[in-house]
Amino acid sequence: MSLSTNPEPAMQQAEAAREPRIIAFLCKWCTYTGADLAGTSRLQYAPNVRIILVMCSGAVDPLYVMKPLLEGVDGVLVGGCHAGDCHYVNGNYKARRRIALVRNYLEGLGLEQDRVWFRFISASEGRVFADTINEMTESLRKLGPNPLAEEWTV
Amino acid sequence: MTGAAQQTRLVKTEQACGELRAIARAALRSGLVVGALVPRRTSTTVIPALVKDPDRIGDDAYFGAPITPQNAASLLSDVTFRPPKGRVLAVLRSCEHRALIELAKLKQVDLDSILVIGIDCLGAAGPGPAPPHLLDETAWRARMAEGGAEAWEGVRRACGICALPAATTAAFTVGLIDVSPESGVLLSVPDDEDGSRLLAAVAAEEGASVSEPGGEVAAHAAAVAAVAEERGQAKARAIAAWRDDTGNFAALSEALAACTQCLNCRRACPICYCRECVFETALFESTGDRYLSRAARKGAVRLPAEVMLYQLTRLAHMGLSCVNCGMCEAYCPAGIELTMLFAVMGQEARALFAYEPGRDAGEALPLTVYREDELDPR
């Protein structure tokens, strides 16, 4: 299979319109299931997000949050279970510290820390998921495009 | 160590500058330790060596040498990862002891297998041939006795902004700053069985004498505090300057321009303990077409392609435990000023968790623990 030089037409169109692009890492047990519920409930939400399924928000290494931002994505969302609900006991609490660390580093280098969101969204909160994506898209629109999208040395 | 009762003595040997050798021999002979990490002087540097027999600690043993081919914590990880029967003596400067404590939290060293003697340090050279004045023990002791915050020529840049001239984290310490070589060295040991045993053994060493110190203790403490104060200010100035000049993505990518992602910094780093770094794996292997699509998106793609991500990932993985020893920079063939990147970014991140690497072996690594009532979301 040859890899297309134009792998994501939808994403490129979004860029053309300077639409915010979001990468979301969602935990299998809560937020991903919540996103699924949003879909099966036919809730409308901004099409600006690409979802990556992870087993636990605690499995999201800072590396995976920083990589898309350096590539020029406008925001990264990490979604995990509510406090006390982690399927692996405390992965979401540990994720919370890691995300705080990443936000601190990004801010320290001049990238708005509000490009990285961490949210607790449960499997039953399809509505909350849809609202979160809408809210984040709107917030990123206000922030403007990620300046690193133009920085070839980064 | 703060809090615990200490007994401090002046140790003096007939041989000039022989005190640390006498202390090491005494520790071995008394059975307090079964081996000692000994920096052995060559014509250009020191070679760290493990020695078992006290009589093999000869005149080439240069404890406290202002030369660190490697952060000794890495070597002690090799020796104690599978703990030996009995303890090993290590004379460590502050950055080495703090790295050792961080490595213990990462379960890479066994602290119970090591008897640390913390030693004063005003700066040390990195790898490569050391300048002659650093290889001269008499000159080094005279320099230590002189005190003062000015960095010695040829030492690592990180040392110039190190505000921890004394290894106060250790229970056993040797004070050299502002202590005249004619008086000897200030040996401080805990007021317990181990401490008393070492003092007795040192007193029994041939040519060594142990005496109650006079004004040396207070003078030493004041001189150490003065160095710490002045270096602390130098560090604050360097951090502010870095913040102004380099503290943003565009300038940082400039600073990293010469990086070839050789990973030497991570090999030299005492904290980077992974057998295989994620940047050595196939994770970032890509196809030609993908490189081209990245190039299309940004107009160009820098090669090697993950230089910035690599440094940021190191910050995320070990930045909280960074002891600012500066070995990364000392080992960088491209001369990149990594010390400041980690000093500045690390300091800001550590403030998030009120964490100080190497402060206390009982403290948990911030990313391994949590509190329910902290940060957002709740």
pLDDT digits (tens, 9 = 90+) for B60-72: 999 999 999 999 9
pLDDT for the residue B1: 46
What is the pLDDT, as a whole number, of residue A1?
Answer: 38
Task: Assess whether pLDDT exceeds 70 at residue B105.
Answer: yes
Choose, out of B252, B266, B298, B303, the residue to mutate when testing the contact with A (most A CBs < 10 Å). B298
Chain B CB contacts of A154 under 8 Å are 249, 253, 302, 308
Give the three-class secondary structure for B39: strand
- Measure in Å the smallest separation between the Cα of A4 and chain B Cα atoms: 7
Answer whether residue A16 shows pLDDT above 80.
no
Q: Could you tell me the pLDDT band of residue A2, with boundaries at 50, 70 and 90? A: very low
Biggest CA–CA distance in chain B, Å, is: 75
Interface mutation target, options A56, A63, A106, A148, chain B, most CBs of B under 10 Å:
A63
CATH of A20-152, one of 3.40.50, 3.30.230, 3.40.720, 2.40.160: 3.40.50
Instruction: Tell me, yes or no, if A90 comes closer than 8 A to chain B by beta carbon.
Output: yes
Residues of A in contact with B319 (CB under 8 A): 105
* Element (DSSP H or E) covering residue B40: strand B35-41
d(CA A77, CA B356): 29
Q: Residue B300 pLDDT more than 70? A: yes
Over residues B218-229, the mean pLDDT reads 97
Alpha-carbon distance A131 to A133, whole Å? 5
CB contact under 8 A, A105 and B296: no
* Long-range contacts, stretch B295-303, CB < 8 angstroms, 24+ apart: B296/A5, B297/A71, B297/A72, B297/A149, B298/A72, B298/A149, B298/A150, B298/A151, B298/A152, B299/A150, B299/A152, B300/A152, B301/A152, B302/A152, B302/A153, B302/A154, B302/B253
pLDDT at residue A120 is higher than 80 = yes
What are the pLDDT digits (tens) for B231-257?
999 999 999 999 999 989 999 999 999
Contact (CB<8Å) B352/A7: no
Kindly tell me the sign of the dihedral angle through the C-alpha atoms of A26, A29, A34, A35. Answer: positive
Write out chain B residues lying below 8 Å of A98, CB-based: 316, 367
Whether omega for the bond prior to residue B377 falls within 30 degrees of 0, making it cis, is yes
Share above pLDDT 70 across residues of chain A, in percent, rounded to a whole number: 89
DSSP class per residue in B334-352: T---HHHHHHHHHHHHHHH
**Which of A15 and A52 is assigned the larger pLDDT?**
A52
Determine, for residues A70 and B377 on separate chains, whether the beta-carbon distance falls below 8 Å: no
pLDDT at A4 over 50: no
Quickly state the pLDDT bin for A49 (edges 50, 70, 90).
very high
What mean pLDDT is predicted for residues B92-103? 98
**DSSP state, residue B368:** G
User: Shortest Cα distance from B242 to chain A (angstroms)?
Assistant: 11
The Cα B306–Cα B70 span in angstroms is 26
Mean pLDDT of B143-150: 94
Q: Which chain A residues contact residue B372 at CB under 8 A?
A: 83-84, 93
Tell me whether residues A71 and B297 touch, CB distance under 8 A: yes
The answer to whether B23 and B42 are in contact (CB under 8 A) is no
Our CA-based measurement puts residue B125 at a distance from the nearest CA of chain A, in whole angstroms, of 30
Residues 6+ apart with CB under 8 A from A57: A25, A27, A31, A78, A79, A80, A81, A86, A91, A92, A95, A118
Contact between A101 and B292 using a beta-carbon 8 Å cutoff = no
Judge whether residue B110 has pLDDT over 60. yes
pTM of the model: 0.94
Report percent pLDDT > 90 for chain B: 97
pLDDT band at residue B151 using 50, 70 and 90 as cut-offs: confident
- Report the pLDDT value the prediction gives residue A18, as an integer from 0 to 100: 81
Quickly state the pLDDT bin for B50 (edges 50, 70, 90).
very high
Residue B226 neighbours by CB distance under 10 Å? 16
CB atoms within 10 A of CB B43: 8
Residue A136: pLDDT above 50? yes
The least confident of B48-62, B189-203, B240-254 is B240-254
CB neighbours of B74 closer than 8 A, spacing ≥ 6? B99, B270
Q: Using the predicted structure, report yes or no on whether residue B197 has a pLDDT greater than 90.
A: yes
Cβ contact, residue pair A70, B370, below 8 Å: no
Q: Decide if pLDDT at A9 tops 80.
A: no
A11–chain B Cβ distance below 8 A for any pair: no
**Banded pLDDT at B4 (limits 50, 70, 90):** confident
**Residues A26, A122: contact at Cβ < 8 Å?**
no
Torsion-angle region of B150 (φ positive above 0: left; ψ -120 to 50: alpha; else: beta):
beta
CB atoms within 10 A of CB B135: 21
Mean pLDDT in residue range A83-91: 96
> Where residue A11 falls among pLDDT bands split at 50, 70, 90?
low
User: Interface pTM (ipTM) of the complex?
Assistant: 0.91
Secondary structure (3-state) at B38: strand
Chain A closest CA to B227's CA: distance in Å?
A: 29
pLDDT at B241: 95
Q: Where are the domains of chain A?
A: 20-152
The DSSP H or E segment spanning B74 is helix B72-80
